[in-house]
A and B are shown apart, each in its own frame.
Chain A
Amino acid sequence: METIWLYQFRLIVIGDSTVGKSCLIRRFTEGRFAQVSDPTVGVDFFSRLVEIEPGKRIKLQIWDTAGQERFRSITRAYYRNSVGGLLLFDITNRRSFQNVHNWLEEAQSHVQPHSIVFLLVGHKCDLEAQRQVTQQEAEKLAGAYGMRYVETSARDAINVEKAFVDLTRDIFELVRSGDIKIQDGWEGVKSGFVPNTVHSSEEVTKGGRQCFC
């Protein structure tokens, strides 16, 4: 039987190599942490349902990408159809934090004419002793870009749910307010199987989607 969901949101996870993109996604979608994780070659995707309000389920299709620079020629094709994104850096790796700006530029230049709602994620927060990026400076950077900031750990399952659910809620609000519109030929947001009782009040209009940032 098909599980009923209101919308499907397509998210993309980006950031430097070895910041923990695949591990974070697997923790969220499979509930486990793999000590062994091979480098992602190209792209891959995972799915999970999230209940944001009682009876309101969103299906997340989460796209995992290779972090190495060379793979950008492959991964950049996947920005266009994403409504949301997690931009990861590793709190124990200053370089990955400095590269956040590059990733954002890369995403923005390939998502036109659409835009992506990003969440900045400081990953591996269980490794406090090796921290090279303070929470304050990361929050400041996120603020400058108008994003939320959250610190997560896939190993200890800290804030993993929160990261994905908060981002999903933000996108849901933008869809509800009409700032993000469903569009033919765009995979970012798709309308799902909706039982009449749950979704009669919300009208989804098809048409041109506006940028909101």
Chain B
Amino acid sequence: CLLDAENIIATVPLRGRQGEVEIDPWEDADYSIYKVIDRFGFMHEEELPVTTAHEEKVRKLTITEMCIPLEYYNGASGMVKRVYKGIPLQLRGRAWALMLDVERAKKDNEGKYEKMKEQARLYSSEIKQIDLDINRTFRKHIMFMDRFGIYRSFCRCSKTWGRITSEVSYCQGMSQIAALLLMFMNEEDAFWALSQLLTNQKHAMHGFFVPGFPKLQRFQTHHDQVISKLIPKLKKHLDKEQMSAGIYSTKWFLQCFIDRTPFTLTLRLWDIFILEGERLLTAMSYTILKVHKKRLLKMSLEELRDFLQERIAQTFFYSDDVIIEQLQAAMTELKKMKLDLPPPGNCLH
């Protein structure tokens, strides 16, 4: 565990604070915190247990398996299988970049990133909101403890999305996606990965963030239809308790389950989301309700909120592997019924 923490710190190009900037003591990334940082880089209040030899062995085995060049897998069914099994931590960034075709985006836009960064510094109207949000995104993660670190300069150029896709600009909720990408990629790769997620056909996340949130509405309406058809008893119960999809599923769709499932599961979902695109969102929203159906049926509005917004973000009651199996089953089921995606939007996006 200690080793992993060191690895993460060593591979992350932390810029560190500059000059004579005053910081609170807790912001100081002092050496002693290594012991309370887990392998994902999150700080914990207490010292973490040392991983067992067995856990290490299992992890090392998966890593060896992944040492075959990633490119070999690209497009092949081997890659798909690998992604559903969960991409090992050390290779996640490379795998995501590969699946999102980050290299091509970079080549097509050579030198553009540095230029945009410069422009963003000069003109950003969204900078204020971005700066406000930087201070509070994944603050328990080692990379984002130092507010003058890598994240700030990255987020500043997020403003330039306004130029890439004229309407998106910065929207609250995007900062956490950016933060997640930055945990596994360098600054420029993360930027182009985000750009791809927003604009490519498979993910087209820009529709989730443009004013009016047209894609969010489309996915929530579709989600209601899916559960009406496939788990009608639960849908009736949710309606009776006035728990609408607008309340519980907004973060599911906008951020692909960041903060709404345990972090290990969130990463597995992101692996699949990056590979498969938006159909993951439809299937996982259905899966969450389906696997917890019996519990949910007994809950009042307050209990439903607590369960869906907080409790399952701590523990999901089933192992990640079981949930991914359920998810795959749901994807097949929805596809068969032609419910895997909402009907296309009728707007210009």
Q: Which parts of A27-71 form the interface with B (CB within 8 Å)?
A: 35-45, 47, 66-68, 70-71
Contact between A38 and B137 (Cβ–Cβ < 8 Å)?
Answer: yes
Against B, the Cβ 8 Å flags (1 = close, 0 = not) of A65-81 are: 01110110110010000
How many Å lie between the Cα of A39 and that of B250 in the bound state? 13
Binding site for A on B (CB under 8 A): 129, 132-133, 136-137, 139-140, 171-173, 175-176, 211-213, 242, 246-247, 250-251, 254-255, 259, 302, 305, 309
Contact between A41 and B139 (Cβ–Cβ < 8 Å)?
Answer: no
Contact between A41 and B175 (Cβ–Cβ < 8 Å)?
Answer: no
Interface flag for A153 (CB, 8 Å): no
How many Å lie between the Cα of A37 and that of B129 in the bound state? 15
How many Å lie between the Cα of A66 and that of B143 in the bound state? 25
Contact between B140 and A36 (Cβ–Cβ < 8 Å)?
Answer: yes
Majority secondary structure of chain A interface residues (helix, strand, loop or mixed): loop
Contact between B171 and A70 (Cβ–Cβ < 8 Å)?
Answer: yes
Cβ-neighbour of A38 out of B176, B254, B302 (below 8 A)? B176
CB distance from B42 to the nearest CB of A (A): 11
Contact between B251 and A41 (Cβ–Cβ < 8 Å)?
Answer: yes
Contact between A39 and B172 (Cβ–Cβ < 8 Å)?
Answer: yes
Interface flag for A18 (CB, 8 Å): yes
Cβ-neighbour of B132 out of A18, A35, A70 (below 8 A)? A18
CB distance from B184 to the nearest CB of A (A): 19
Q: Which parts of A102-126 form the interface with B (CB within 8 Å)?
A: none
Q: Tell me whether A43 and B247 are in contact in the complex, defined as CB-CB below 8 angstroms, given that A17-B172, A38-B137, A73-B212 are known contacts.
A: yes
Contact between B255 and A17 (Cβ–Cβ < 8 Å)?
Answer: no
Residue of B nearest to A40 (CB): B172
Given contacts A17-B132, A38-B137, A67-B172, list 20 more A-B pairs with CB under 8 A. A18-B136, A36-B136, A38-B176, A39-B133, A39-B136, A39-B173, A41-B250, A41-B251, A41-B254, A41-B255, A42-B247, A43-B246, A44-B247, A44-B309, A45-B305, A68-B129, A70-B172, A73-B213, A74-B250, A77-B246
How many Å lie between the Cα of A67 and that of B136 in the bound state? 14
Residues from chain A with Cβ under 8 Å of B302 in the complex: 47
Would you give 9 A-B contacts (Cβ < 8 Å), ordered by A?
Answer: A18-B136, A37-B136, A41-B172, A41-B173, A41-B251, A42-B247, A42-B250, A42-B251, A74-B250
Most buried by B among A36, A38, A40: A38
How many Å lie between the Cα of A17 and that of B129 in the bound state? 8
How many Å lie between the Cα of A110 and that of B3 in the bound state? 55
Most buried by B among A18, A41, A44, A71: A41
How many Å lie between the Cα of A66 and that of B133 in the bound state? 12
Residues from chain B with Cβ under 8 Å of A67 in the complex: 172
Contact between B136 and A38 (Cβ–Cβ < 8 Å)?
Answer: yes
Against B, the Cβ 8 Å flags (1 = close, 0 = not) of A1-42 are: 000000000000000011000000000000000011111111
CB distance from B165 to the nearest CB of A (A): 15
How many Å lie between the Cα of A37 and that of B212 in the bound state? 25
Nearest first, the 6 closest Cβ-Cβ pairs linking A and B are A42-B250, A36-B139, A41-B173, A39-B172, A68-B172, A18-B132
